[in-house]
Amino acid sequence: MDDVKPTKEHKTLLEYVRANAGYRPNIAEMLAENKGPCPDCWGRGRVVAPYERACPIEGYKMADRIACPKCNGDGRIPKKEWVESYKKYNAAFKERVSQWQERETRRRELIESVGYDIVEEIINLWR
C-alpha cells in the first residue's frame, strides 16, 4: 500500500546543487558564471590534510588544512560537472518511475483478472 509513484525532489539544476552542495548563498551566481561549488570541500577551497587524525574531543577543529585537490583551492568546479551529475540524478529518477509503472501495471492486471470485488473483500479481511 506504500508503493506510491516516485516524485522528483529536485526539479531544477539549482535545486539539485543547493541540496547536494551544502548551504552556499552564491550558488545561483556560480552557475551563471558556468561554475559550481566544489563537492569535496563544500566550496571552501580547503580540506583536512590527509595525515590528520580526528581528536577524540575536538574532532578536526584544530587539524591542518590543505588546498582542496579537486578544485585546487578555488572552491568551485566547472558547472558541467554538476550538469553531468544532475543528468545521472534525472536518469535514476526516470528509472524509478519506470519500475514503479511496471509494478502498477501488474497490480492493475491482477486486480482486473480477479475483479475488484474480490480484491476489496481480501483487503477488508485484512483490516
Q: How far is the CB of 10 from Zn ion (least distance, A)?
A: 21
Q: Among 17, 38, 82, 86, indicate the residue that binds Zn ion (CB under 5 A).
A: 38
Give CA–CA dist 10/83, Å, rounded.
13
> Per rule CB under 5 A, is residue 81 in the interface with Zn ion?
no
Q: Among 70, 89, 90, 93, indicate the residue that binds Zn ion (CB under 5 A).
A: 70
> Per rule CB under 5 A, is residue 21 in the interface with Zn ion?
no
Task: State phi, psi for 61 to the nearest 5 degrees.
Answer: -55, -45
Q: How far is the CB of 9 from Zn ion (least distance, A)?
A: 24
Rank residues 65 and 70 by Cβ distance to Zn ion and give the closer one: 70
Task: State phi, psi for 73 to the nearest 5 degrees.
Answer: 85, 0
Cα–Cα separations (whole angstroms), residue 62 to 22, 39, 56, 97:
22, 22, 12, 46
Q: How far is the CB of 108 from Zn ion (least distance, A)?
A: 49
Q: How far is the CB of 2 from Zn ion (least distance, A)?
A: 39
Give CA–CA dist 92/75, Å, rounded.
27
Rank residues 66 and 119 by Cβ distance to Zn ion and give the closer one: 66
Q: How many CB atoms neighbour CB 4 within 10 A?
A: 8
Q: Among 37, 68, 82, 86, indicate the residue that binds Zn ion (CB under 5 A).
A: 68
Give CA–CA dist 27/41, Å, rounded.
14
> Residue numbers of the site for Zn ion (CB under 5 A)?
38, 40-41, 68, 70-71
